[in-house]
C-alpha cells in the first residue's frame, strides 16, 4: 500500500509524549486561515519556491518502506516513552495507508499518535483505531459560523467524531490554536473548554497554541495568499484574561508560544 507524504521529522518533542518521529502526509479538506503547512493541503506533488530554490513537496512511499525508516529511531522512542505521530495535512484522509504502516510499527511495540482535525468520515477513524494510542485533535471554534469562517467548513462532523471518540479506549490531547482577531473570542474559547470538559477522562492534556507566522514564506513560495491580518498575534493582555478563564478548569492545560 502506498501513501503520499511530504517529510518525516525526527526527534520531535511537540507531537505527543517523548521523542517522536512525525510523518507529514499530504491532503486536507479544511482551509484554516492560519495553516502553517499550506504546501500539504493538496493531495498531489507540488513545487514550492523558497529562498530562490525550487523544492518538490510530496513523494509516494509504501507502508513497508516508511515503517523501515521509522524503525531506525526505535531506541529513542523506547528510552523516552515516545513513538511515531502521523500528521499532515490530514493523515486520516489516507487512513488505509496510515493503518498499514502503524500496524507494522505496533508489531515492534512502537506507540502511535494521530494528529488530526477529525474532519473525515467516521470509518476512516474506525480503520486506524485498533493501532492508535493517542489522538491529538484541534478544536478551532464551537460556534459553527465562526468555524466556517476559520476553516471553510462546518464543525458538526468534527464535534460528532470527538463525542464518539470519547467512548473509545483511546487517550485524547486537545489543541486550541488561538489566532488574534479570528478565533480568539473568549466566549467561544470558554465554550471550547466546556466542550472539552464534556469529553471527560479521555482528555489527559489540553494545549493552547498561540498563532505564529512561521509558515508565511511558504504561501509566497506556492503563489498563495494568506488572508490573516498583521494583528493575528496573541497579546500579553489577552493571555492574562485567558489565564483567568483557564483557572476555572481542572484539567492539564498548557500554553505554548507566549510572547
* Phi (first) and psi of residue 140, to 5 degrees: -90, -25
- Distance of closest approach, residue 118 Cβ to ligand SF4, in angstroms: 9
* b/e code 139-175 from CB counts within 10 Å (16+ = b): bbbbbeebbeebbebebebbbebbeebeeeebbbbbb
Q: Which residues pair with 224 in a beta bridge?
A: none
The window from 15-23, 37-45, 122-130, 220-228 that contacts ligand SF4 (CB under 6 A) reads 37-45
Number of residues that bind ligand SF4 (CB under 6 A): 12
Q: Which residues pair with 111 in a beta bridge?
A: 83
* b/e code 176-204 from CB counts within 10 Å (16+ = b): bbbbbebbbeeebbbebbeebeebeebbe
Binding of ligand SF4 at residue 27 (CB under 6 A)?
no
Residue numbers 41-60 binding ligand SF4 by CB under 6 A: 41
- Distance of closest approach, residue 190 Cβ to ligand SF4, in angstroms: 22
Q: Which of 6, 101, 111, 117 binds ligand SF4 (CB under 6 A)?
A: 117
- Distance of closest approach, residue 248 Cβ to ligand SF4, in angstroms: 28
Binding of ligand SF4 at residue 184 (CB under 6 A)?
no
CA dihedral of residues 120, 121, 127, 132 (deg, nearest 10): 40
> Are the C-beta atoms of residues 233 and 180 closer than 8 Å to each other?
yes
- Distance of closest approach, residue 36 Cβ to ligand SF4, in angstroms: 7
Q: Which of 3, 16, 89, 221 binds ligand SF4 (CB under 6 A)?
A: 89
Q: Which of 22, 25, 37, 161 binds ligand SF4 (CB under 6 A)?
A: 37
- Contacts with ligand SF4 by CB under 6 A lie at 28, 30-32, 35, 37, 40-41, 88-90, 117
Amino acid at each position: 500500500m502506498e501513501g503520499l507524504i511530504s517529510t518525516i521529522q525526527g526527534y520531535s518533542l511537540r507531537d505527543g509524549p517523548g521523542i517522536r518521529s512525525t510523518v507529514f502526509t499530504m491532503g486536507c479538506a479544511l482551509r484554516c486561515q492560519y495553516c502553517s503547512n499550506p504546501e500539504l493541503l493538496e493531495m498531489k506533488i507540488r513545487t514550492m519556491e523558497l529562498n530562490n530554490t525550487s523544492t518538490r513537496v510530496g513523494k509516494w512511499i509504501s507502508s513497508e518502506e516508511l515503517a523501515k525508516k521509522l524503525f531506525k529511531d526505535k531506541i529513542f522512542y523506547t528510552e523516552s516513552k515516545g513513538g511515531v505521530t502521523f500528521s499532515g495535512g490530514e493523515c486520516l484522509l489516507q487512513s488505509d495507508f496510515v493503518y498499514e504502516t502503524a500496524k507494522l510499527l505496533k508489531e515492534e511495540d512502537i506507540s502511535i499518535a494521530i494528529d488530526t482535525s477529525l474532519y473525515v468520515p467516521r470509518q476512516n477513524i474506525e480503520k486506524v483505531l485498533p493501532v492508535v494510542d493517542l489522538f491529538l485533535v484541534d478544536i478551532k471554534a464551537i460556534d459553527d459560523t465562526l468555524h466556517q469562517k476559520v476553516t471553510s467548513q462546518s464543525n458538526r462532523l468534527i464535534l460528532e467524531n470527538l463525542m464518539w471518540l470519547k467512548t473509545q479506549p483511546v487517550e485524547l490531547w486537545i489543541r486550541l490554536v488561538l489566532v488574534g482577531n479570528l478565533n480568539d473570542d473568549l466566549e467561544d474559547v470558554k465554550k471550547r473548554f466546556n466542550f472539552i470538559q464534556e469529553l471527560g477522562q479521555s482528555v489527559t492534556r489540553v494545549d493552547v497554541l498561540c498563532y505564529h507566522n512561521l509558515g508565511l514564506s511558504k504561501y509566497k513560495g506556492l503563489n498563495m495568499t494568506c488572508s490573516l491580518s498583521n494583528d493575528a498575534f496573541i497579546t500579553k493582555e489577552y493571555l492574562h484574561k485567558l489565564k483567568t478563564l483557564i483557572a476555572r478548569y481542572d484539567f492539564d492545560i498548557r500554553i505554548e508560544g507566549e510572547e
